[in-house]
Amino acid sequence: MNAHDTSQNTTLADAQSPACWAAETLRDNVLAHVQELARHPENKVPAERVLLQLTQDTDFQAVLKTWNTLNGPDRVAAWKKVLGLAEHHAREILPACVQCGECCRQGSPTLHLEDVELLHKGAIPWNAVYTLRRGEPVRSPFQTELVFLLDERIKVREKPGTMECLFLDTSLSQCRIYADRPLQCRAQACWDAGPAEDLSKQPYLTRRDLFKDVELLMDVITEHDRRCRFDQLAAAFRELDATRGASVDQVLHLLAYEDHFRNFMAEKLNIPEDHMELVFGRSFAALVQVFGCRVRTEPDGTRVLVPDRDEASPSS
């Protein structure tokens, strides 16, 4: 090893020592350490939450404030103290919501009957929710198999392409309707799973609770549920698999029929476009993704079914 190599190694070793860190490097390393703690299987608390508690800790604030004035050995001692504080806060979670936004990034709430007033008084706009119909196929990130919903649910929308709740103000990591947040959000506690589990005893909100006084609309919803069932769609996709794509017309026919039904009725009943997913749920065409496909409209207006993530090879 030559002299140049030796000096370079010394510089690298120094840079890895807390004694040489700038305040910015200290912050980066605190963040990395807290994320590492949160990944530990025994730790169920999100990193954001631990970080928030840590930043409110006066001992940690004192380290941050004085870091640039400390000499090398004092910085090493201060870093050890920060490690201890981080571990303490990962273990001793305060039993209160600190609005870190982590739950809200993992998904939006499903509404319960008790939440109906939030819609009626406008705290949650009607176009901010949609329906998951009975029998609807869903694929959770933790399951490879499709599951079919046993009962209807009404849910707050997620931001497009994410699981993040529509009402989360991303820049502030705060709920925009915190004072009027739904029951599920009020029960959710990252330090205690108990209250959220108890919620399963509370009745869920359904379209019947919302539209029971609008008889004609309820008739149309019932008819749509009867004529456009998810078991028909699932069976058509099973057939598509069995016939290696030869029965694609059967799937396309179901998509076209469901599309026609919802659009025809929406026009007749004057249903605004942004209320359609509340009234009729998500369209068949939007849901083919859970079967690994997607609908593509050709320049001449015809629709073809293509494998998801594969623009180049249509199956029809």
CB of 162 to ligand SF4, least distance (A): 12
CB of 197 to ligand SF4, least distance (A): 17
Q: Is residue 130 close enough to count as binding ligand SF4 by CB under 6 A?
A: no
| Residue 189 or 218 having the CB closest to ligand SF4 | 189
Angle between the N-to-C axes of helices 248-269 and 215-227, in degrees from 0 to 180, rounded to the nearest 10: 180
Q: Is residue 224 close enough to count as binding ligand SF4 by CB under 6 A?
A: no
| Dist. CA 97–CA 205, nearest whole Å | 25
Q: Is residue 108 close enough to count as binding ligand SF4 by CB under 6 A?
A: yes
Helix H segments across the chain?
A: 3-16, 23-39, 47-55, 58-66, 72-91, 102-106, 116-120, 183-187, 194-198, 207-211, 215-227, 230-242, 248-269, 276-279, 284-287
Q: Is residue 261 close enough to count as binding ligand SF4 by CB under 6 A?
A: no
| Residue 109 or 137 having the CB closest to ligand SF4 | 109
CB of 179 to ligand SF4, least distance (A): 10
Find the part of the chain contacting ligand SF4 (CB under 6 A) among 16-24, 129-137, 181-189, 247-255.
Answer: 181-189
Size of site (CB under 6 A) for ligand SF4: 12
Task: Select from 54, 82, 175, 254 the one that contacts ligand SF4 (CB under 6 A).
Answer: 175
CB of 308 to ligand SF4, least distance (A): 27
CB of 127 to ligand SF4, least distance (A): 15
| Dist. CA 231–CA 137, nearest whole Å | 9
The candidate with the shortest Cα–Cα distance to 226, out of 261, 200, 202, 260, is 261
| Dist. CA 191–CA 90, nearest whole Å | 10
Apex 169 CA angle, 166 and 170, nearest 5: 100
CB of 109 to ligand SF4, least distance (A): 5
| Dist. CA 27–CA 143, nearest whole Å | 36
Q: Is residue 154 close enough to count as binding ligand SF4 by CB under 6 A?
A: no
> Cα 124 vs. chain centroid, distance in angstroms?
18
Q: Is residue 167 close enough to count as binding ligand SF4 by CB under 6 A?
A: yes
Q: Is residue 181 close enough to count as binding ligand SF4 by CB under 6 A?
A: yes
CB of 276 to ligand SF4, least distance (A): 22
Q: Is residue 168 close enough to count as binding ligand SF4 by CB under 6 A?
A: yes
> Do 232 and 254 meet the contact criterion of CB atoms below 8 Å apart?
yes
The contact mask relative to ligand SF4 for 182-221 (x = CB under 6 A, - = no) is x--x------------------------------------
Query: What is the DSSP code string of 173-184?
Result: TEETTGGG--HH
Task: Select from 18, 46, 109, 137 the one that contacts ligand SF4 (CB under 6 A).
Answer: 109
SS3 296: strand
| Dist. CA 8–CA 10, nearest whole Å | 5
| Dist. CA 255–CA 233, nearest whole Å | 8
Find the part of the chain contacting ligand SF4 (CB under 6 A) among 9-17, 60-68, 102-110, 285-293.
Answer: 102-110
- The token pair at 181 is 């947040």
Q: Is residue 128 close enough to count as binding ligand SF4 by CB under 6 A?
A: no
Task: Select from 37, 45, 54, 177 the one that contacts ligand SF4 (CB under 6 A).
Answer: 177
Binding site for ligand SF4 (CB under 6 A): 104, 108-109, 156, 165, 167-168, 175, 177, 181-182, 185
